[in-house]
């Protein structure tokens, strides 16, 4: 069974913000595969269903972003998930242009506080993650203000297009073809900026 976690912040004021694209992906998957997030426990809202013939749990941590690891750890422990083989975390990345995605099987948090907390709670960085490009912040913007602001319409359209890529990538991952998903999606387009860090 795969545990697929989208990162974000609960609360109406965060809906549609750049930092909530992980939640947006979970909503997209819910509609695509008719999976209801009917359980509220273990510091998360989650539900189970099937993707590409494999059983999955879709989850949104109910902690704030910076404490996402508490929910991920609780789910991993309760459902006896092997993070290296069965966990996928989806989140925003300002280092990528809108519309691009990147898939990795391990690595650092890259400055993303939600990922920092997950790695800390799990005690490992060996798990699959899918980063969704949200674009680099303008120079005069505070980083927190930027990621907690809504998208401009034209950027939102590009991000929505990336969701279809994530669905295709997840189907490959659930079938055990993570390397193929990386080959398919990691070399399209360029990184936005090496200096930027996601929050």
Residues designated as active site:
19
Residue 67: closest CA among 112, 20, 114 = 114
19 touches 103 (CB < 8 A): no
Residue 103: closest CA among 79, 132, 81 = 132
User: What's the farthest any 2 CA atoms get from each other in the chain?
Assistant: 47
Q: Token digits for 154? A: 């034209």
Give me the count of residues in the chain: 199
Sorted by sequence, the CB contacts under 8 Å of residue 178 that are 6+ apart come out as 103, 105, 128, 172
CB atoms within 10 A of CB 120: 14
Provide DSSP, 83-126. Answer: HHHHEEEEEEETTB-TT-EEEESS---TT-HHHHHHHHHHT---
- Residue where the block lists tokens 């819910």: 30
């Amino acid at each position: 069974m795969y545990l697929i976690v989208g990162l974000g912040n609960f609360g109406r004021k965060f809906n549609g913000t750049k930092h909530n694209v992980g939640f947006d992906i979970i909503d997209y998957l819910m509609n695509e595969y008719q999976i209801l997030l009917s359980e509220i426990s273990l510091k998360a809202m989650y539900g189970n269903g099937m993707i590409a013939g494999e059983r999955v749990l879709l989850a949104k941590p109910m902690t704030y972003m910076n404490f996402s690891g508490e929910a991920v750890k609780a789910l991993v422990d309760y459902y006896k998930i092997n993070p290296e083989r069965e966990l996928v975390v989806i989140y925003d990345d300002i280092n990528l242009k809108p519309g691009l995605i990147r898939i990795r099987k391990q690595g650092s948090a890259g400055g993303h506080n939600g990922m920092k907390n997950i790695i800390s709670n799990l005690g490992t960085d060996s798990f699959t993650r899918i980063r969704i490009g949200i674009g680099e912040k303008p120079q005069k913007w505070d980083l927190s203000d930027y990621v907690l602001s809504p998208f401009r319409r034209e950027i939102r359209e590009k991000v929505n297009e990336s969701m279809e890529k994530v669905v295709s990538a997840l189907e490959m991952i659930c079938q055990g073809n993570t390397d193929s998903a990386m080959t398919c999606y990691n070399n399209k387009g360029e990184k936005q900026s090496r200096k930027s860090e996601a929050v």
